[in-house]
Amino acid sequence: FPIIAVLGRPNVGKSTVVNRMAGEFKTGAVVEDVPGVTRDRTYRLCEHNGRFFQVVDTGGLLFDDDPQNVFLPQIREQALVAMREASGVVLVVDGQEGVHPIDLEVASFLRRECLDATDGSSPPRVVVAVNKCESVRFGDAQAAEFWRLGLGEPIPVSGIHGGGVAEVLDRLCEEIPEAQPRRMDENGRWILDEPPDDLEAGILNVAIIGRPNVGKSSLLNRFLGSERAIVSEVPGTTRDAVDELLVVTDPRTGDEYGYRLIDTAGIRRKKSISYGTEFFMINRAFKAIRRADVVLLVLDMTQGVYEQDATLAERIADEGRACIIVGNKWDAVEGKDDRAYRAALQKVRERLPMLPWADALLVSAMSGQRVPRILDLVNAAAEQHGRRVRTAVLNEVLMEAIRWQPPPSTRQGKNGKVYYATQVSTRPPTFAMFVNDPKLFGDTYRRFIERRFREGLGFRGTPLRFLWRGRR
Ligand code: GDP
């Protein structure tokens, strides 16, 4: 998530402003406070107009508690640390006290670092928030003095009343790209332990995972050996992981598709796997899932679906990855007519209930049957995974669903109300559902909404995330 650093001398009301920013949910609640990397920095996850970011109160770092004992080199150093990672900076000043010499000092530093950056980096947006401007009449007049800081139009705010804070956020958001939150735990809270990996332009990260001997390396060889493929080895992120780049030309259109096959060393290295424990198999697979956009979950159709297959499937869904279920060794299964094919798929689905949205097909890595079709499904799933739906369309589907089946009411006669939905991110598609009280929406109703979203909007091949947010 993009970071917004909040600076200001002591007693300007910085923490009140920070609390306001973090609390500036029109309908939702503060999602989570995440302990910072350093002991005394707290990152608060905030949302404003569909953009997610973290607000860092640099307070304790910039200044000593004693306002008289301000140590300027320290300001500089700490502000620099905060700003190096920030997309936006808010300088909070005191509208009743006027411009303080330290404000000027900090401002000149910010001008140099943020406005006049010449090294081609994209500097953070700086906004001056003039606090303690609660009086509507005097607010602008109070703020006007702060043009002197040379950081653009000062915005009058009131930390205690909340006025002006939305404008500050609006101003910051102009520069902040719509964020893509990646992972959520089972309680629906965001996990921020790793930055989102950037999807290289046009190249899909594909992981081939499955138990030993299901035919992963046979499948890999099929992909890499196909005549239409160009292959090159690229080092993966871990020392012994090797990725392979596969470029496939569609003979019909001449279009080229790029796939980075993840951790192919782990697939090929049979020896270590055969005496490796299940732990290492699972561990390696989990790492590959994390790095993937699309996961191929390979099963052995001569054996059926095992506990471990379900473990892997669950992880794929938890991580929000797109997925294709590939039932391999179909050539070795007796009786392969259409009915047997459908019955076998049905069985697989029953054993993998966590992936109802994933496409599944039965192939033979040995003969190559249906193997090219896998990549078609990968392309389709990746497209859905990164798909964005217009808010108007989304709400049409939502309202239709509610008309069809209104939210249940509690025994106390409280009714669940849905106001509005919006897609806040992709990979996987994530929707914020603004409701009166999330507690009124049980699992059954949530599943119903997801089902209607899928019926109305598709999204085959990708998991969906829903954030249910209540009014405060
Ligand atoms: P991995 O451990 O998942 O990489 O599995 P391998 O690709 O090494 O395959 C394990 C065994 O299954 C080998 O003996 C393969 O020859 C065999 N195998 C792989 N794919 C198929 C298939 O499509 N059909 C049949 N009949 N055997 C296969």
Query: ipTM of the predicted structure?
Result: 0.95
Please give the backbone phi and psi of residue 203, each rounded to the nearest 5 degrees, phi first.
-105, 125
Residue nearest to atom 20 of ligand 1 (CA): 215
Greatest Cα-to-Cα distance within the chain, rounded to the nearest angstrom:
86
Q: Judge if 151 and 80 occupy the same domain.
A: yes
Amino acid code (one letter) for 289: I
Burial class (CB in 10 A: 0-12, 13-18, 19+), 385: buried
Residue nearest to atom 10 of ligand 1 (CA): 213
Closest ligand 1 atom to residue 364 Cα is 23
Across the range 436-440, mean pLDDT stands at: 88
Q: Find the domain containing 44 and state its range.
A: 3-173
* Final residue in a domain of this structure, among 333, 356, 385: 385
| Residue 146: pLDDT over 50 | yes
* Ligand 1 centroid to residue 213 C-alpha, Å: 6
| Residue 24: pLDDT over 80 | no
* Ligand 1 centroid to residue 218 C-alpha, Å: 6
| Residue 437: pLDDT over 80 | yes
Give the lowest-confidence range in 212-226, 242-256, 390-404, 437-451. 242-256
Residue nearest to atom 14 of ligand 1 (CA): 213
* Final residue in a domain of this structure, among 336, 357, 385: 385
Q: What is the pLDDT of residue 78?
A: 57
Whether 148 maps to a domain, the answer reads yes
| Residue 153: pLDDT over 60 | yes
- Number of structural domains in the chain: 3
Q: What is the pLDDT of residue 266?
A: 76
Q: Judge if 155 and 210 occupy the same domain.
A: no
Average pLDDT in the chain: 79
Q: Is the dihedral of CA 270, 271, 274, 277 positive or negative?
A: negative
Q: Judge if 130 and 276 occupy the same domain.
A: no
Whole-number Å distance between alpha carbons of 173 and 53: 9
Give the lowest-confidence range in 105-109, 180-184, 377-381, 401-405. 180-184
**244, β-bridge pairs:** 233, 261
Across the range 82-106, mean pLDDT stands at: 84
Whole-number Å distance between alpha carbons of 429 and 391: 13
Q: Judge if 380 and 247 occupy the same domain.
A: yes
Q: Judge if 44 and 159 occupy the same domain.
A: yes
Closest ligand 1 atom to residue 220 Cα is 7
Whether 195 maps to a domain, the answer reads no
* Ligand 1 centroid to residue 275 C-alpha, Å: 18
* Ligand 1 centroid to residue 140 C-alpha, Å: 74
Q: What is the pLDDT of residue 173?
A: 81
Q: Judge if 163 and 37 occupy the same domain.
A: yes
- Domain CATH code at residue 421: 3.30.300.20
Within a 10 A sphere around the Cβ of 100, how many other Cβ atoms? 15
Do 320 and 466 form a contact (C-beta atoms < 8 A)? no
Whether 370 maps to a domain, the answer reads yes
Whether 178 maps to a domain, the answer reads no
Q: Judge if 399 and 377 occupy the same domain.
A: no
Q: Judge if 307 and 395 occupy the same domain.
A: no
Give 342-347's long-range contacts (Cβ < 8 A, gap of 24+).
344/301, 347/304, 347/305
| Residue 100: pLDDT over 60 | yes
pLDDT band at 190 (very low <50, low <70, confident <90, very high): very low
Q: What is the pLDDT of residue 224?
A: 81
Q: What is the pLDDT of residue 9?
A: 79
pLDDT tens per residue across span 239-294: 566 788 777 777 777 777 788 888 887 777 655 544 455 666 788 899 899 999 99
Q: What is the pLDDT of residue 238?
A: 56
* Ligand 1 centroid to residue 335 C-alpha, Å: 20
Whole-number Å distance between alpha carbons of 156 and 400: 42
Q: Which of 209, 213, 300, 309 to mutate to test the pocket of ligand 1 (most atoms within 8 A of CB)?
A: 213
Q: Judge if 166 and 275 occupy the same domain.
A: no
Half-sphere exposure of 396 (CA within 13 A, CB side): 8
DSSP tag of 57: E
Whether 288 maps to a domain, the answer reads yes
Q: What is the DSSP string of 12-39?
A: S-HHHHHHHHHT--SS-----EEE-SST
Amino acid code (one letter) for 62: L
Whether 194 maps to a domain, the answer reads no
* Ligand 1 centroid to residue 215 C-alpha, Å: 4
Q: What is the pLDDT of residue 203?
A: 80
Q: Which of 218, 297, 329 to mutate to test the pocket of ligand 1 (most atoms within 8 A of CB)?
A: 218
Within a 10 A sphere around the Cβ of 372, how many other Cβ atoms? 14
| Residue 37: pLDDT over 60 | no
| Residue 71: pLDDT over 70 | no
| Residue 443: pLDDT over 60 | yes
Q: Which of 52-56, 109-113, 418-422 has the highest mean pLDDT?
A: 418-422
Across the range 400-412, mean pLDDT stands at: 87
Whole-number Å distance between alpha carbons of 24 and 456: 32
Whether 219 maps to a domain, the answer reads yes
Across the range 188-201, mean pLDDT stands at: 38
Within a 10 A sphere around the Cβ of 108, how many other Cβ atoms? 13
* Ligand 1 centroid to residue 276 C-alpha, Å: 18
Q: Judge if 343 and 457 occupy the same domain.
A: no
| Residue 32: pLDDT over 80 | no
Per cent of the chain over pLDDT 90 is 35
Whole-number Å distance between alpha carbons of 31 and 92: 24
Q: CB within 6 Å of ligand 1 — which residues?
A: 210, 212-218, 267, 328-329, 331-332, 364-366
Whether 108 maps to a domain, the answer reads yes
* Ligand 1 centroid to residue 274 C-alpha, Å: 14
Q: What is the pLDDT of residue 355?
A: 97
* pTM of the predicted structure, to 2 decimals: 0.60
Q: Give 384 or 31, the one with higher predicted confidence.
A: 384
Whole-number Å distance between alpha carbons of 312 and 406: 35
Residue nearest to atom 9 of ligand 1 (CA): 215
Q: Judge if 357 and 225 occupy the same domain.
A: yes
Q: For residue 57, how far is the Cα from the chain centroid?
A: 23
- Domain CATH code at residue 240: 3.40.50.300
Closest ligand 1 atom to residue 332 Cα is 26
Q: What is the DSSP string of 106-131?
A: HHHHHIIIIIS--SS--PPEEEEEEE
Q: Judge if 222 and 367 occupy the same domain.
A: yes
Across the range 129-157, mean pLDDT stands at: 83
Q: What is the pLDDT of residue 462?
A: 96
Per cent of the chain over pLDDT 70 is 74
* Final residue in a domain of this structure, among 334, 363, 385: 385
